[in-house]
Structure 1
């Protein structure tokens, strides 16, 4: 989304984080009963501050349901589970919908089955697969509900059903009929994971502000800048030296000279940092710094270089094992877009007249009252994406750049399109038919699972996770208990396959820098010790969530910037400035992301929370344990059974059992011995 008016963004600043958490927890978790779809609305738990213990004690409840090792009895056989023992009365009160990826998905090479029940109703839940029972684990809990999961190795067809047991020994089938309900998985993965994303680290680049590798193209931006066309403009674009001060034009029309050659020159830096994927903000011909006002979708903007420079960047990146995705803006264009200029000149006689919604003609370029435009900005006329010609044009644009060598795309403001979901179904089908491992991400700030069912996007930009939950917890705006509930709502709402493909951002070109959000100050300030500790806490959470953590350029160097001051978060990266403590922290997190198998799975289990603490595991065998403390005092935490080795902070490397102490504003990462 554009940055022309900060108020237009749903910026999750520190002042509104608690309110946004309430929105996340109020988000509807979509489930389906055997009769039809119902909505289970979740509500925010208020922070009562009633926690008086600092010790986490794992559950020791024994299973109420046991199985015989090696059982291979067919699930159709009555001897497998005697009906008189397992049937109950009153219904199972559980929810399962095999057609919804939130309940059944293929992830990490296996089938993940999940079931929602009222919290505390069942002491154990089993899924019986081809006659063999698998105990399901409690994964998530929120507002009177909990979710259980089990993983079936492989992706072959199988039959299955569920058995639920209460602490009183009562056992029921789902949904408690007189015969076992029998589900069938046909072995078809209808929403395949983009596997390369699951273990990757991403990096967002805003090209004009990253690195100037070719000064000869610096002044070319002035030729096409929107301010030279817009009849309502009172300013002209400006070119600045790399360290010049910010002007009021900074968000959109103050150019610093970053380009494609500069990005190529820094690929070695990105590789050494541990980056596996680059997301490029718009690089096609446009009239601004941000590039969301496209003039020509098929032309690389000369201020960034040539098409050959782009090809070289992608080839060199691929040689280093780094994938590249582009920013696709199908909703609107700039006033210099060739088809819009044809309408401007010819009026109704233009063959592109119906590519737009024109209210009056003739008109002045930039007149928002004359045509449909994005959020009232006359510089951004919106395309009529219900017009088949427009749809075909845009679909061909997307395929053109995939053929060029990109590995996927980030879709700008997808909900603003006319006929949005129909268009993106066509887009997905077209791109995935030729490039099944293409990664398609939608810029939707709220959690909306309807876009993540297998027919639209692989992921959204998960601001609702990164800023609405992780940043809120790390800044102390919400408690650990609230964070645990929000995480549960979030991950219960999407499939495990989607979780593993998550585009996990904590900031971007559209928000303030996280170090600024955490109290580090504005551009040019020196961040405090506390702000850096909070940044470390936040990024441990970001890097240990399922999916791909995405770093906004410069965060790893300790960059600062307040969005509300002319988008200073986009200020050019000052390559002679670095906070070593911050850089080394990011470098170690990327190493852990690449080397700990549990972090490269699609499963998270929330174990425990309190006012200050958030404790969760990663991996199907709970092999990675994360303990986060956002409080100002240390806490002693009792560990799950067994020996654990501390791998974060770096250099700790102690093996511990039973209990461990976690310091204020810090986190621990442990792995099973």
Structure 2
């Protein structure tokens, strides 16, 4: 047997192989020019004839991303049974046919020698598919205390946010702005925590079964959800299940009773004596680092960590989330710091949420490469921090040149399968990072470029409240100022109207197929019957791209002159597909 030295790659593992429901998504990468690529697949024990030849179907692979001399191919094949074997049949540029299997790249091999790739036995509950509605969805993130107090936030311009103070936003205030949100073009709202807590951010939950009375009651919440649904919009809640607040009654029971508490093993306690003896004021950041009597979140003593390996804790917390989901028709959950939550809990959470809402969408707050969690199928997507950081460093802070940005986007693309990208959560601002406009130094052109890149490359797109009217704000808590209702920024708001419409009506149905870095970065996307060309330039530079006569301008930077043939900053064009299928 001869092993051929061609640069062609696939592995029977994430992100090259991904099962969702009864569909297996496959990807390969090649540095070689191919005429075609196909996959032969079937059940490893399904044979035909006296010679027991495998029964294999054939599917042609489609070109995915092309960049830097590399070409990705992808295909999605149905699984007739719970198992799958497959190998690739590739036609090289010179017409020769080669196989790609576990053996590597070889000439065509007989079945007796071939070692195909395999998909282990698939249990349906281990490989749920994301809900179709969540593909490329448009969200609006609301920090509840600061969005709307029902009186247009009068005096909000004089309010200086701290970690302790409250402004007075309410659920009724949010309900009163649903028409505004719908006209803006978003499709759903994501609420930072709303359960009873001691702080304005509400990540220190005191009761998971009660709404924070400062925000309103359960009737107010029901009206909010029903009004959203009547408007054709959806709602996402923030689930803080890694830790709770200091005054949570179960934590206080442990402090009072120590090891005699039935909830002692519900938390991660190291020294019950010290826990009962020391008041919160003496549990400094230094103490929690050097000699902690118990585990907490980020050395913050007022947020003790749940033992999410404990089956009783899993049942307790997940059942509460299940009740909210079922009783109020919750459409989606975002889980806070799930990288510190047990995998057992995360599996149980997603399974139980799907049991009461088959179309629920669950994402996680993961700041690094999220391959491990996505491979485990505990989330439909995650907050796309690798994409955010690449966009931030190029478009907002200008620490990366265009070449570095292109390199990081290639790595970002390769880290997740094509089937996952549409469900990832892209953003330019949120409650944990400085607002995009502030990172841009107030430069609205850079600000628009950042959001355009997030819309082009991201799956879901989230707008942080106030970004659409050019609100600024530095590090937490400065990025949580009251929403400004009396002085809208019409230029930026108009930009968001256009961008969100473009994302919803055009980009949502496109996939990235080519990325070329020459005098600018050229991004090409394929849709159904049309293509998209996005041109991104180095800061302050202008280029003259080669355009077709039929190309129509969809969006450009404020300083752009696409009508005269030049692009500066960015420009997005629509191009029609020709009779031969090319754009």
Distance in 2 separating the partners of 1:569 and 1:349: 43
SS of the residue aligned with 1:496?
coil
SS of the residue aligned with 2:203?
coil
Distance in 1 separating the partners of 2:309 and 2:350: 17
Matched, 1:671 2:579: no
Unaligned 5+ segments in structure 1 are 1-86, 219-239, 521-530
Higher relative contact order (CA closer than 8 Å, sequence separation 6+): 1
Query: Do the aligned partners of 1:139 and 1:149 also contact (CA within 8 Å) in 2?
Result: no
SS of the residue aligned with 2:413?
helix
Distance in 2 separating the partners of 1:440 and 1:643: 41
| Cross-structure match for 1:569 | 479
How many residues matched? 534
| Among 184, 189, 199, the residue aligned to 1:278 | 189
Distance in 1 separating the partners of 2:210 and 2:12: 44
Please show how residues 203-282 of structure 1 align to structure 2 within 5 Å: 203-213=140-150, 242-246=156-160, 250-282=161-193
| Cross-structure match for 1:541 | 453
| Among 357, 360, 364, the residue aligned to 1:438 | 360
Write out per-residue CA displacement over residues 247-273 of structure 1, whole angstroms, 9 at most, x where no aligned residue. xxx342111000100000000000001
| Cross-structure match for 1:634 | 542
Write out per-residue CA displacement over residues 311-351 of structure 1, whole angstroms, 9 at most, x where no aligned residue. 11011001111110111011111111011122223333322
Matched, 1:647 2:569: no
Distance in 1 separating the partners of 2:315 and 2:543: 59
SS of the residue aligned with 2:237?
strand
Write out per-residue CA displacement over residues 228-247 of structure 1, whole angstroms, 9 at most, x where no aligned residue. xxxxxxxxxxxx9533341x
The TM-score normalised by the length of structure 1 is: 0.72
Give, in angstroms, the shift of residue 89 of structure 1: 4.5
Query: Do the aligned partners of 2:309 and 2:344 also contact (CA within 8 Å) in 1?
Result: no
Distance in 1 separating the partners of 2:296 and 2:268: 9
| Cross-structure match for 2:110 | 179
| Among 493, 499, 515, the residue aligned to 1:607 | 515
Query: Do the aligned partners of 1:604 and 1:617 also contact (CA within 8 Å) in 2?
Result: yes
Structure 1's 644 and 345: CA in aligned 2 closer, same or farther, altered over 3 A? same
Structure 1's 139 and 542: CA in aligned 2 closer, same or farther, altered over 3 A? same
| Cross-structure match for 1:482 | 404
Structure 1's 609 and 267: CA in aligned 2 closer, same or farther, altered over 3 A? same
| Cross-structure match for 2:254 | 343
| Cross-structure match for 1:232 | none
| Cross-structure match for 1:13 | none
Structure 1's 501 and 582: CA in aligned 2 closer, same or farther, altered over 3 A? same
Distance in 1 separating the partners of 2:394 and 2:23: 32
Write out per-residue CA displacement over residues 403-460 of structure 1, whole angstroms, 9 at most, x where no aligned residue. 122111111011123xx21221121222223323211111111122111125211111
Give, in angstroms, the shift of residue 547 of structure 1: 1.1
Tell me whether 433-442 or 508-517 shows the greater mean CA deviation. Answer: 433-442
Query: Do the aligned partners of 1:607 and 1:617 also contact (CA within 8 Å) in 2?
Result: no
| Among 28, 32, 51, the residue aligned to 1:115 | 28
The TM-score normalised by the length of structure 2 is: 0.83
| Cross-structure match for 1:355 | 266
Unaligned 5+ segments in structure 2 are 41-55, 578-583
Matched, 1:295 2:295: no
Structure 1's 114 and 357: CA in aligned 2 closer, same or farther, altered over 3 A? closer
Give, in angstroms, the shift of residue 546 of structure 1: 4.4
Query: Do the aligned partners of 1:355 and 1:384 also contact (CA within 8 Å) in 2?
Result: yes
Query: Do the aligned partners of 2:529 and 2:576 also contact (CA within 8 Å) in 1?
Result: no
SS of the residue aligned with 2:449?
helix
Distance in 1 separating the partners of 2:465 and 2:383: 16
Give, in angstroms, the shift of residue 132 of structure 1: 6.0
Distance in 1 separating the partners of 2:462 and 2:201: 19
Distance in 2 separating the partners of 1:269 and 1:112: 39
Structure 1's 655 and 372: CA in aligned 2 closer, same or farther, altered over 3 A? closer
Give, in angstroms, the shift of residue 122 of structure 1: 3.4
Give, in angstroms, the shift of residue 469 of structure 1: 1.6
Query: Do the aligned partners of 1:546 and 1:604 also contact (CA within 8 Å) in 2?
Result: no
Structure 1's 214 and 331: CA in aligned 2 closer, same or farther, altered over 3 A? farther
| Among 397, 413, 420, the residue aligned to 2:320 | 397
| Cross-structure match for 2:51 | none
SS of the residue aligned with 2:545?
strand
Query: Do the aligned partners of 2:556 and 2:572 also contact (CA within 8 Å) in 1?
Result: yes
| Among 332, 340, 355, the residue aligned to 1:416 | 340
| Cross-structure match for 1:38 | none
Distance in 1 separating the partners of 2:85 and 2:333: 37
SS of the residue aligned with 1:148?
strand
